[in-house]
Structure 1
């Protein structure tokens, strides 16, 4: 019974990880939401910020708020978009790197060699997404191998 529950848990984790590829595409991404919030913060007054955050701004808080607004406005173009350098920095921290089936398959089926291949492939895809999912594929493969090893050799 314990083995069955362990296998059921492992299968459910794998399925939930792989379902990330089928997330609805019409929903706004994290990156879009972050950009909208930064634009809103750049145009917000202190009173609006205090009301939205529910906190009273003190001397240092007011200074930090003004500096953040200045930095955001400095990194915005006149048309309301962000400068390329700032955009890259935002993508690094808040970027959406959805499920990458190719990277996952490389790590899952070919192990550490597949991860190395994921680093070597330099086509138009984002390399960080592919390599991240290659590592996830390797970890999933390793966990499944360990689970099968324990199940098979514990029953002998």
Structure 2
């Protein structure tokens, strides 16, 4: 896929998506799907990049006018209901959720990498370990020595 503007990576999904949900330009799951007058559907950014070079449908080669693109909101909503794995799956998170709600999960995922908020500390730890890290962080305003002394 490589392009940042293309569709969603197929590996993001808990189950392989229906082939009708896949963009034939980027081969990812459709992101902001738009339909051409010939009825072919693509990611909005994929087809705009294509049309910047060629004024034809990538599938059937019929002439396309950029202003004739139609958003396919029912399809966008159906894709938003597909179950996706957490982006922290490799770190141990087993959660799945609908694509439309993945940011909500990510904002509370215990496996999300977090930066220590203390000035001077460049450590990144998983959310579940952040409180423990902060207890012993040498960059905190009052660092507590494990032996109980204040430094």
Query: Which structure ranks higher in relative contact order (CA pairs < 8 Å, sequence separation ≥ 6)?
Result: 1
